[in-house]
Structure 1
Amino acid sequence: MSARVLETRELLEEATAWAQVAEAEAFEADRNARFSEALIASFRQKGLHRLLRPRRYGGLGLRPRPFMEFIRRVAYHNVAAAWLAYFYPIHEAWVAFLPPEGRRRIFESDALVVDVFTPLGQVEPEGEGFRLSGEWKFASGVLYADWIGLGAMVPLDGGPPQPCLMAIPVSQVEIVENWDTLGLRPTGSHGIRCQGVYVPREMILPLIPVVSTGKPVGGEYDEEEPLYRAPFMPMFLMGFPALALGGAERLVEMFAERTRNRMRIYQLGAKEAENASGIRSMAEVHLKLETLRALYDRYVAQLEAWVEEGRSVVEDVERERMFILRAAVARGAAELATQILTTLGGTAVYKGDKVELFVRDLLTVACHTTHLYEDALQGYGKSLLGLGAHPLW
């Protein structure tokens, strides 16, 4: 997919076609804790990893709304596939903030990029760069990537240590295959270990300057690119409400179909669609879904407004509002999934049942640190009261 104007309709058609293949291999991928190489290869061949990449580097430079709708559409078919369909393009976002030489090196390779932000690495200065060692978890998509950004506290330019992402080839790390989880199993979010890998200065991204300014290190960027026209973290994390909502929409559809066709054996063969319980549940799950859609729409609208205005820096209360919106969608989708599972009862708990798979995946989505509900409440509440905010999200 070359750097050109892409119609939303065409993008959603691409999303549907790719996601339907992912859905067809969903249960095998869940058992194997990885998608097939062919599925990921087709994603790359279609150029879908370039959706957010700046146009000067061969990307499409999508705005938030079409990108989020792309992720939402994939999640309707397979939440784990949407996780990777979100992560591969969005990880190119931080690449776009590296020093110019680092950007060129990674983008010219046109390879898949992954990361682990958690600053667990240890560094030793060497020349103009550093030697990186350490262990990390949750490297989603690493099995098929060529580049990885690893978090560490780095004393850049002789200053105090600060949180950074250090970009290195995946060939220089050890993949620790420890991804055996409740849900999102096909994402292959394994652990990483490395020892003494040299990282030059141009491959190091200091996070605090990027988050506080929304501008790339070293200049050389197009101010019209959407990535540079909104606050970094709300933009970087925009896929989470999209994939939570897409999965919830599919679950509600499956719930409605089963409710219409369900017979209650222990209620003398009563039709669930004619029971007060079934009627009430149908209304309630759809109302909750409408609430999630409204929260999602608020998130999209705010990002689009910031891009239009070119506001890469916002007040804490604005940033924390986005945090609580993300958290509310993720938590709401997980609660909706739990309600649907427990309402449908024993027929939905078997392996090989799509309801069971979607429920596990949505519960696991809600566990991600960037939208933990209690953290979001703390951050938003503090910002509203003028007591500070969450330091990152």
Structure 2
Amino acid sequence: MSVTGILAKAEAVAVTPEPAELLARARALAPALRERAAKACAERRLPAETIADLQAAGLFRILQPRRWGGYEMHPNVFYDVQQILAEACMSTGWVYGVVGGHPYELALFPDAAQQEVWGEDDSVLVSSSYQPVGKVERVEGGFRLSGQWGFSSGSHHCRWVLLGAMIPPAEPGGPPDMRTFLVPRADYEIIENWDVFGLQGTGSHDIKVDGAFVPEHRTHKAVDGFLCQNPGQAENDGPLYALPWAQIFLRLVSTAALGGARGAIAGAVEITKSRISTNTGKASKADPILLNTIAKAHAQVEEMSAVLRRNFDDMLGERATPLTLEKRALYRYQSASVVRRCADLVDDLMPLLGGRAIYRSSPVVQVWLDLNAARAHVANDSNNFGPDLFGSLVGDPPSFMFL
């Protein structure tokens, strides 16, 4: 890296904003995000100006290492920003969560991979699809990767992608080796097939790779993330990067639901304040069932948000021993339950708000669709993780390392 680049990074670190400033920047973007939400849905991707605004506000740098011009902040700052953005536009919150979380995983890769992505431009963004559907062949110095992956959110705005695949054992009968492969834009094609009923603006199109060479240093072993012993920690040695990667990732795909649900609740409050039923002549604000449903939704969203903050405070707190598998299983389960709980809360509100609530112009209906679309993510189904949580209570080892 040039001397100019080193000095620029040093200056960026020196002017790292306070968390409150980053939250204020996110709130300042909310009106524009609301105005662009319909365009994002129609075009099946976030507008370029939205990505530019997030970049200019420094929001993608919250989990990025300081040595690469990032802020290396507590995860709660990142998830607070994600909730604010998602309250205005859940597709924006979703893309921000996923793409904005990838600097964390990239920091765990060998330094050579970080140099390739950020060496010339530390604002480069990365998308992903972790489905282990890739076909891998071992070759000298690395691997040949092929396949087609779905659900790569924000892919049109990114210059690299992270893709999941299982590597054939080096020896017959050897253990499975799940890895994430880092692939540059020149080596993959975006297949535009994102045609869905919710989260339309996330632009989660397919990624196709045909025999791309991926050197060893551009892979990240799942077992390293589980053990919290990643190559990138040699250079990125702060406590942030010693956390289990799974705990960061799981919240990237569930936290937007908290912001989305808050947006739906705010919309329900506005409707309730002034609505008079044309059939009964009664005011909605006199309906105790509706008022209790709104109150329940508000209280439970705040509870889930508080649990998220508590869990990361615990993970980054002073401790003499590593985070126990029992806590990791609990925190994974709590994350996985968020989206379905939020979807159920908003689903309960919909029939109580009257016929106008089902119009596309309603402040509730798009969030309702977004939340139900978000339920489809495998990490947002707590039934996948309940057996491991139970197992942790009786001393059994986890069946799935991603926790």
TM-score (norm 1): 0.92
- CA–CA separation in structure 1 for the residues paired with 2:253 and 2:133: 23
Residue among 114, 134, 139 paired with 1:126? 139
- CA–CA separation in structure 1 for the residues paired with 2:72 and 2:101: 11
Counterpart position of 2:37: 26
TM-score (norm 2): 0.90
Counterpart position of 2:46: 35
Counterpart position of 2:197: 182
Residue among 363, 369, 390 paired with 2:378? 369
- CA–CA separation in structure 1 for the residues paired with 2:182 and 2:298: 39
Counterpart position of 2:359: 350
The percent identity for this pair of structures is 27
Aligned CA distance change for structure 1 residues 270 and 46 (closer, same or farther; 3 Å): closer
- Residue 241 of structure 1 deviates from its aligned partner by 4.3
Counterpart position of 1:316: 325
- CA–CA separation in structure 2 for the residues paired with 1:160 and 1:145: 33
Q: Is the 8 A contact 1:323 1:371 kept in 2?
A: no
- CA–CA separation in structure 2 for the residues paired with 1:47 and 1:2: 10
Aligned CA distance change for structure 1 residues 206 and 236 (closer, same or farther; 3 Å): same
Residue among 234, 238, 255 paired with 2:268? 255
Amino acid at match of 1:220: A
Which one is further off, 2-11 or 215-224?
Answer: 215-224
- CA–CA separation in structure 1 for the residues paired with 2:362 and 2:284: 20
Per-residue deviation, residues 339-379 of structure 1 (Å, max 9, x unmatched): 11121132111223321111111122222211203223333
Structure 2 unmatched ranges of 5 or more: 1-10
- CA–CA separation in structure 2 for the residues paired with 1:303 and 1:343: 36
Q: Is the 8 A contact 1:11 1:70 kept in 2?
A: yes
Aligned CA distance change for structure 1 residues 222 and 144 (closer, same or farther; 3 Å): closer
Residue among 74, 77, 99 paired with 1:66? 77
Counterpart position of 1:150: 163
- Is 1:234 the equivalent of 2:247? yes
Tell me the SS of whatever aligns to 1:258.
helix
- CA–CA separation in structure 2 for the residues paired with 1:279 and 1:137: 44
- Is 1:93 the equivalent of 2:104? yes
Counterpart position of 1:2: 12
Tell me the SS of whatever aligns to 2:398.
coil
Tell me the SS of whatever aligns to 2:131.
strand
Counterpart position of 1:204: 219
In the alignment of these two chains, the number of paired residues is 387
Residue among 111, 122, 127 paired with 1:114? 127
Amino acid at match of 1:171: A
Amino acid at match of 2:220: L
Tell me the SS of whatever aligns to 1:131.
strand
- Residue 79 of structure 1 deviates from its aligned partner by 0.9
Per-residue deviation, residues 261-287 of structure 1 (Å, max 9, x unmatched): 1111221x122222xxx2232123222
- Residue 219 of structure 1 deviates from its aligned partner by 4.7
Per-residue deviation, residues 319-350 of structure 1 (Å, max 9, x unmatched): 11112211232221100111111211321112
- CA–CA separation in structure 1 for the residues paired with 2:12 and 2:31: 23
RMSD, matched Cα: 2.1
Aligned CA distance change for structure 1 residues 199 and 45 (closer, same or farther; 3 Å): same
Amino acid at match of 2:237: E
Residue among 289, 304, 310 paired with 1:295? 304
Tell me the SS of whatever aligns to 1:30.
helix
- CA–CA separation in structure 2 for the residues paired with 1:223 and 1:239: 22
